[in-house]
Amino acid sequence: MTDYVSDLGDSLSNASTLVDLLRYRAIYQPNQTAYTFLVDGETEEVSINYHELEQRSRGIAAYLQSLNAKGERALLLYQPGLEYIAAFFGCLYAEVVAVPAYPPLFNKPMPRLQAIVADAQAKLALTNTSILTNVEEQFPHTPDLAALHWIATDTITDDVIEKWQQPLINSNTLAFLQYTSGSTGTPKGVMVSHGNLLHNLSLIYHCFEHQPHSQGVIWLPPYHDMGLIGGVLQPLYGGFPVILMSPITFLKKPFRWLQAISRYKATTSGGPNFAYDLCVQKIKPEEIATLDLSRWEVAFNGAEPVRAEILERFATVFEPCGFRQEAFYPCYGMAETTLFISGGLKISPPIVRQVKGRALEQNLIVASADRQEGVRVIVGCGQKWLDQKIVIVDPESLIPCPFDQVGEIWVSGPSVAQGYWKRLEETSYAFRNYLADSDEGPFLRTGDLGFLQDGELFVTGRLKDLIIIRGRNHYPQDIELTVEKSHPALRPGCNAAFTVDIKGEERLVVVQEVKRNYLQKLNLDKVIGDIRQALTAQHGLQVYAAVLVKTGSVSKTSSGKIQRYACRAKFLDGTLDVLGKSGRNSEVQRKSDVTSISAVKN
């Protein structure tokens, strides 16, 4: 250890990996509490300090090293908690590539997990005894999972710790794979290096103005980039404690989140747009009266469109508790940039712009003086920081756009990940782009649309049709494939998935053609029921409306590509050729009794 300490010195500036980072904390702040997990989401606590975490991580790493697992990919399959964090660092300490994943549910389909196993070519799976017992019962039906080397890390004893050998890693070493999609069997693993992580963590620390006395509260899942990097790794980078809870405990009772912020005097916490809205809807006045949110300095909001009306409602409802509108921190990021891309000034309220909707549909920015009908209110997502660069680019000509025009958001900088695991063509398309007029690059094409105004980034839409519901990303082609396979009456390649705004929340709609030979014998109840069941089972999604339409009526381009925006427009104005649909009450409506689908807008 002496040589290692002398190499690292007494400054974090000498840290080039996350192993360096945790070793530093364990050496210089061994007894400081690193993580506290609220088992019940309220008062039942389990905690771990830096020394204990480092020791536990070294034990897991030593066991992995005994298996000669260097460079292998290892699934992390845990419920949120301290075991997950120790296993993640155990992989890093053994130079094993961590693969965060959703833990399997007992007796539920696991297509996404199986797809990740295949894509990552994983050999190992780390979990605990309880989860492993449940998974083993499914092995006869999932030979790909049964073939993995399963390790219950809660059975690894401390006597292996001294056998750990320091790995020969550096900033370019691959740390983990962050999977962004995958329910169709074609997930993509973003390759995140130690250098990517440390740079992005420094960005977040700088932008959020964190200090050693900061205090975090996080309910976001650790297998998601925001939960892992923003919720678990950022407190370690800043050397301040964080209170963690399971997202399930938050969803069941949103009051627990704000109660923890109040009780532990948190300065930093946040989540997607829906989380703030859920608090407004579910927390009772008598519960609000018990809260003190006056210490909350950074209420970050990301992972889905930031909506001005929800920020306003939250600030109004919780102002009596000491919440300040200036605490809201809209930001923008994605897995391909490790996490964080842009954010605002900590002391400033969110920047809002009102633009004319008709002009925006033509990718033009025309300001509006008031919020009249047809005006879109767009919340700014901050500015670039440090050595990051953001450019708005015409996605066809690859030339930077004028200031008053919407284009694709391109990003460059040390936080941009290494590419997609084993996907050279897709990596080249997304990560290796150069401006046509100057040959400057390489840039990452984010697939998102937006504009820059006075240095502030405004995100207006998604070039790649990405669907985001409750903070989770869903690709429409994944949803469409699930739908068309749910019943033999449905035409393959002839459907569209998109979202509509219902009272400030993005809700899923699917439009699906029926095969011509089924038109006279169609059991609408059965078909729509199968669609809803399949989407719930494979994606965890509830459908706002499932619409069955006549053969040949789904809009396509001349080359045969689905025109999702055209389908959405027809849905909203009631011009789809409808056979039947299920609405918000899940009841099937036939063509004869469907009044007007345009009512969905109201």
Per-residue pLDDT reduced to its tens digit, 376-431: 899 999 999 888 999 999 999 999 999 999 999 999 999 999 999 999 999 999 99
Contact 413, 445 (CB under 8 A): no
The per-residue pLDDT for 592 is 40
* Mean pLDDT of each 10-residue bin along the chain, 602 residues long: 42 86 96 97 95 98 98 96 98 98 77 88 96 90 92 95 96 95 63 98 96 96 93 97 96 97 98 91 96 98 81 96 96 95 91 87 85 83 92 96 94 98 96 97 94 93 75 73 92 89 87 93 92 88 93 71 82 91 54 36 32
The per-residue pLDDT for 481 is 83
State which H helix or E strand residue 175 sits in.
strand 174-179
Q: What DSSP string runs through 316-331?
A: HHHGGGT--GGGEEEE
Residue with tokens 């102002």: 319
Sorted by where each begins, the domain ranges of the chain are: 352-462, 475-601
Contact 48, 98 (CB under 8 A): no
Rounded to 5 degrees, φ, ψ at 361 are -60, -20
583: its two tokens: 């609405």
Residue with tokens 């975490």: 53
* pTM metric for this prediction: 0.80
Per DSSP, the three-state class of 548 is strand
Instruction: Tell me the C-alpha distance between 298 and 301, whole Å.
Output: 9
367: its two tokens: 């300001």
Segment 529-578, tens digit of pLDDT? 999 999 988 788 999 999 999 998 998 754 356 788 789 889 998 999 99
315: its two tokens: 């600030």
Domains 352-462 and 475-601 share a fold: no
**CATH match for 352-462 among 3.40.50.740, 2.60.40.790, 3.40.1280.10, 2.30.38.10:** 2.30.38.10
The per-residue pLDDT for 557 is 53
441: its two tokens: 């690059």
Instruction: Tell me the C-alpha distance between 335 and 447, whole Å.
Output: 12
Q: What DSSP string runs through 220-264?
A: S-TTSHIIIIIIIIHHHHHT--EEEE-HHHHHH-THHHHHHHHHT
Burial of residue 237 (CB within 10 Å: 0-12, 13-18, 19+) is: buried
Instruction: Tell me the C-alpha distance between 329 and 128, whole Å.
Output: 36
Per DSSP, the three-state class of 593 is helix
Phi-psi region of 289 (alpha: psi -120 to 50; beta: other; left: phi over 0): alpha
The per-residue pLDDT for 585 is 41
Domain 475-601 in this protein, CATH class: alpha beta
The per-residue pLDDT for 97 is 98
Q: Which one, of 120, 125, 122, lies nearest residue 150 by Cα?
A: 125
**How does 63-80 read in b/e, with b if 16+ C-beta sit within 10 Å?**
bbbeeebeebbbbbbbeb
239: its two tokens: 């050397």
Which amino acid makes up residue 452? L
Rounded to 5 degrees, φ, ψ at 374 are 90, 0
